[in-house]
Amino acid sequence: MTEMILTNADIVLEDQVLHGTLRVADGEIAEVSEGGAALRGAIDLGGDLLMPGLIELHTDNLERHIEPRPKVDWPHAAAILAHDGELASVGITTVFDAMRVGSVLEGHGRYERYARNLATELLELRGAGALKISHFLHLRAEVCSETLEEEMAEFGPGDRVGIVSLMDHTPGQRQFRDRAKLKAYVQGRLTLSDPEFDAHVAHLQSLRDAHGARHEAAAVAEARRYGAVLASHDDTTEEQVAVSAGYGIRLAEFPTTAEAARACHARGIAVIMGAPNLIRGGSHSGNVAARDLAEAGHLDILSSDYVPSALLYGAVRLGALWGCMARGLATVTANPAHAAGLADRGRIEPGARADLVRFGLRGETPAVRGVWSQGRRVG
């Protein structure tokens, strides 16, 4: 039996912060007690905050590592290990690695399939004990594509697919309602001329017309086959939220309007927003600000999206906004655990995984000083 005692800590529970001591045994939390008296062999945290490990449901970080620049491929094993280490260093102990399924093989905006091979390498590294933190798969099912059905068929219940999100990046709606912003984004990434951009938009719209309804139905069915949680992406209207609810969707990623977020809450769908949106004070795509949803009581979960270190920082900012540190930190611990169906983590309580983060504050900025995954120091 391996044991660790962390004492003199401000321990973040679900609804309060308790100054006390935490004991870990065999990778699980064994005891939480009030008071920070000196104990033989205990690690004195000096009054730092001690919270559950962060749970990340949607991050583009692994994709950034495998393609650090447009059309620059990086060896997958090296990318996975770097990604895993980066997340551990900022306090993330559970991650749902986002991988796109559904490719476009023709036209100016071509993107090739990669998810099955990348997932296989990740799962092999996990099986070999090479990863520091807990990894699940998040398949981003792009309905505006050519190959979604065949790519999703390559996965099964044994692949740790925890989330399937319905993605529709067809120009003219959802995230890309504003054609000017879409044009700036696409032309900056793909260096297309104006006629090439117009052809790109027309091609994607034709793909949605030809395959969209069938792909959407297939993605819903495949998620059920995997046993994964279904998520929507970029819901904009009440009508779109009603469709999401009909599919049994439990998680709404980045609704683009206050109307959609309000409708999600009315239907019991948890709303996830990007921490960079909160920290920057608005969406880089011109959509609803995360702060506005937080103030309205319509924000449940934060995602680091494209900046891993934003997750804890954003949760601390939410705690300050709401006047309750525990409530803010729950958006990156208990709330995502519940939404993803993970009953063994996200809370500091006896029997839970000893996924823990020690941090201090420099003003409103958190400084991570220790990370444990199942009681093992990883950061």
Contact call for residues 165 and 138 (beta carbons, < 8 A): yes
Q: Please return the burial class of 11, using the count of CB atoms within 10 Å of its CB with bins 0-12, 13-18 and 19+.
A: buried
- Phi, psi (5° rounding) for residue 57? -95, -25
Q: How many whole angstroms separate alpha carbon 257 and alpha carbon 254?
A: 9
Angle between helices 76-89 and 115-127 (to 10 degrees): 60
**Quick one: pLDDT at residue 15?**
87
Contact call for residues 169 and 204 (beta carbons, < 8 A): yes
Torsion of CA 87, 91, 96, 99, to 10 degrees: -20
Joined together, the tokens standing for residue 255 give 């609704």
**Quick one: pLDDT at residue 129?**
97
**Quick one: pLDDT at residue 39?**
75
Three-state DSSP at 367 gives strand
**Of 253, 252, 257, nearest in space to 236 by CA:** 257
Per-residue pLDDT of the chain (379 residues; tens, 9 = 90+): 589 999 999 999 988 999 999 999 999 999 999 987 667 789 999 999 999 999 999 999 999 999 998 788 999 999 999 999 999 999 999 999 999 998 876 655 566 899 999 999 999 999 999 999 999 999 999 987 888 999 999 999 999 999 999 988 656 555 566 556 555 555 455 666 667 666 666 666 676 776 778 889 999 999 999 999 999 999 999 999 999 999 999 999 999 999 999 999 999 999 999 999 999 998 877 789 999 999 999 999 999 999 999 999 999 999 999 999 999 999 999 999 999 999 999 999 999 999 999 999 999 999 999 999 999 999 9
CB environment 54-67: b (16+ within 10 A), e (fewer): bbbbbbbbbbbbbe
Q: How many whole angstroms separate alpha carbon 206 and alpha carbon 200?
A: 10
**Quick one: pLDDT at residue 187?**
47
Which listed CATH number (3.40.190.10, 3.20.20.140, 3.40.220.10, 3.40.190.170) goes with 53-344? Answer: 3.20.20.140
**Quick one: pLDDT at residue 103?**
81
**Quick one: pLDDT at residue 195?**
72
Joined together, the tokens standing for residue 195 give 């006629």
Q: How many whole angstroms separate alpha carbon 137 and alpha carbon 328?
A: 25
- Phi, psi (5° rounding) for residue 183? -60, -45
Helix ranges, the chain (H): 61-66, 76-89, 115-127, 148-153, 179-190, 194-226, 238-247, 258-266, 275-280, 290-296, 310-322, 325-330, 334-339
Contact call for residues 48 and 95 (beta carbons, < 8 A): no
Q: Give the residue extent of every domain in the chain.
A: 53-344
Half-sphere exposure of 115 (CA within 13 A, CB side): 26
Measured CA to CA in angstroms, residue 130 lies from 66, 77, 123, 133, 327 at distances of 18, 10, 10, 9, 33
Q: How many whole angstroms separate alpha carbon 262 and alpha carbon 5?
A: 43
Q: How many whole angstroms separate alpha carbon 329 and alpha carbon 54?
A: 9
